[in-house]
Amino acid sequence: MYQAIVFLPLIGFLIAGLFGRLIGARASEIVTTTLLLISAALSWVAFIQVGFGSGTTRVQVATWLASADLRVDWAFRIDTLTAVMLVVVNTVSSLVHLYSIGYMHEDPSRPRFFAYLSLFTFAMLMLVTADNLVQMFFGWEGVGLASYLLIGFWYQKPSANAAAIKAFVVNRVGDFGFLLGIFLVFVLTGSVAFDSIFPQIAGLTERSFRFLGYDWNALTLTCLLLFMGAMGKSAQFLLHTWLPDAMEGPTPVSALIHAATMVTAGVFMVARLSPIFEYAPVALTVVVVIGATTAFFAATVGLVQNDIKRVIAYSTCSQLGYMFVAMGVGAYSAGIFHLFTHAFFKALLFLGAGSVIHAMHHEQDMRNMGGLRKHIPLTAAAMTIGTLALTGFPLFAGYFSKDAIIESAYASVAHGGFASSYAFVLLVVAALMTSFYSWRLYFMTFEGAPRWGGHGHAAYGHDDHAHGHGHDDHAHAAHAHDDHGHGHGHDHTPHESPLVMLIPLAVLSLGALVAGYVFKEAFIGHDYEHFWKAALFTGKDNHILHAMHEVPKWVVWSPFVAMLIGFLLALYMYVLRPEVPGKLAAANPVLYKFLLNKWYFDEIYDFLFVRPAMWLGRFLWKKGDGAVIDGLGPDGVSARVVDVTNRVVRLQTGYVYHYAFAMLIGVAGLVTWYLMARG
């Protein structure tokens, strides 16, 4: 069964990728989607069997490589954590495949698209089933490759190519740290297999390692390097810049990246390596601070974005920060619980946004929407459910998982000190901002007077127009053809999406409604150990999941109050008094542009890294290649090298006796030198 779960997406990729032109787009869609649906169904069977029954299983596939002390097996580690990830990855991926049949129906490159989707899924499955660090790194790089291919799927668009390259390069920075961490684990333990590594960790707590001229605690250094990889893949603060631009790919790709595959890889990795992180408290403190900062930073930027997909992208970035805070305070199961529920409502929001874009003939700017609830009521209902789940409305999925993280952050203040206090405050503030920008998105899109076609702009539409766009804001006007490049006009009445796109929205809506309530006891309840069965490791002094159930009432209510304030502010500013946002933007132009331009991180990185690299490359090209290699001497160094090479080539006669004579001369010279030296 487990082989089928992992390899069915690979088979779909091979069929659509190799034979897509032969069998046609329709067959490619059907084959890949059917195989994913089968894999998703088997994943739920595995989830029930493992989580509520059998426990850990190891499935040996093959021996990958063996060299001296290094042995790497290709094997599946099936425990509760793996089963949860199998459900997340395959459920969302199968629904994205199904949705894409309707969304991509105009695109002539559908076989390639569906092949890439299946490859993405297979790479993520290799990552989450990994039995060792090398196999995990294989899947890690596989999702990086697939993201590059899918973000740049419409390679005719320069912006798509730039976004794909940006995602690839930024992730290489994080992956370099991850690779160094793997090397260090092998140096310390002599193995890359989890079953060999984990039992040795407790004995390494006092071990030091010299790195960059300093002596570090070996486990702290290991975890910091590993977390560097997680920062890149999961778009944490400082290595986050690729994620918002990743929406340049088709909308279903955004749903897959943001909900189930690439960005969840870092969270999964920290959870899987919890036996290492648990013994590195300094590294866990760094995880808490980075996670809380990310949650706050991304929420502030999401407040003013105008592209419907970009708002949801920054929401993903912010929610990933929540997950890492949970990891950092030791509430690993709470972090994975939020990853689980987040997959449903974030995929729902992205696919719902895709349905809006489809209805609006590929318009993505919310300032050109409004009043859509009457025209696409089913999409509006799905987006309402997704928004309620994201903002943490009681009984919806996000309410149980996000609030658990906030409570665990407060519960860890006693031993976590400043970092935990910092995280608790920022997460509550981020919850308020999340509610505000989520309802802002809903109100600007579905409520108020229409601002599409010949309807013009409502009052608050002028707040952003009057003060310019962020340099990434590309989704209207000249790019109204966004996804398929067909350039439809905007005088058409918005229309509801076809059934093949609405079915995934309905399924995900159900998950966003009930996933939190149904699974909260299993994931974070008083008997959570029975569900996890040691798939997640907590030290003997880690009682965070018990302490989070005993926090004061005001802590329990704080996320709800923050959510309510955010909702009321959005209602006031975008429904009752739509002229207020424009006045606020005009009164605070510096702050507004600072947030609209994402704290100017792209400009800072461009100044610090991109321009110096471009200058160095141009210098080596002009001065090195042009002036020296091609320009020095009568015809340049390269011409002289060619002349010398041509003369040397003449020595190669092809006659054996010539080579034998040259060897004899060499031996005679060597003997002479040896005798002279000895004398």
CB 358 within 8 A of CB 103: yes
Residue 530 is predicted with a pLDDT of 84
Q: Given this model, what pLDDT does residue 528 score?
A: 82
pLDDT of amino acid 502: 93
CA distance 546 to 527: 10
What residue type is assigned to position 300 of the chain? T
Q: How many residues does the chain have?
A: 679
- The reported pLDDT for the residue numbered 633 is 60
Amino acid at 571: L
Q: How many CB atoms lie within 10 A of CB 202?
A: 12
What is the pLDDT at residue 450?
Answer: 85
The distance in angstroms from the start CA to the end CA of the chain is: 76
Mean pLDDT for back-to-back runs of 10 residues, the chain (679 residues): 92 93 91 95 92 80 83 89 94 94 88 94 94 93 93 90 92 93 93 91 89 88 95 91 87 87 92 93 94 95 91 94 94 93 94 91 86 91 95 92 94 84 95 95 90 59 39 35 40 82 94 92 86 85 87 93 95 90 90 91 89 89 74 66 76 83 91 83
Distances (CA, A) of 86 to 45, 74, 127: 10, 18, 10
| pLDDT for position 471 | 36
Tokens 């390692």 locate to 209
Rounded distance, CA 581 to CA 578, Å?
7
Q: Provide DSSP, 342-368.
A: HHHHHHHHHHHHHHHHHHTTS--BGGG
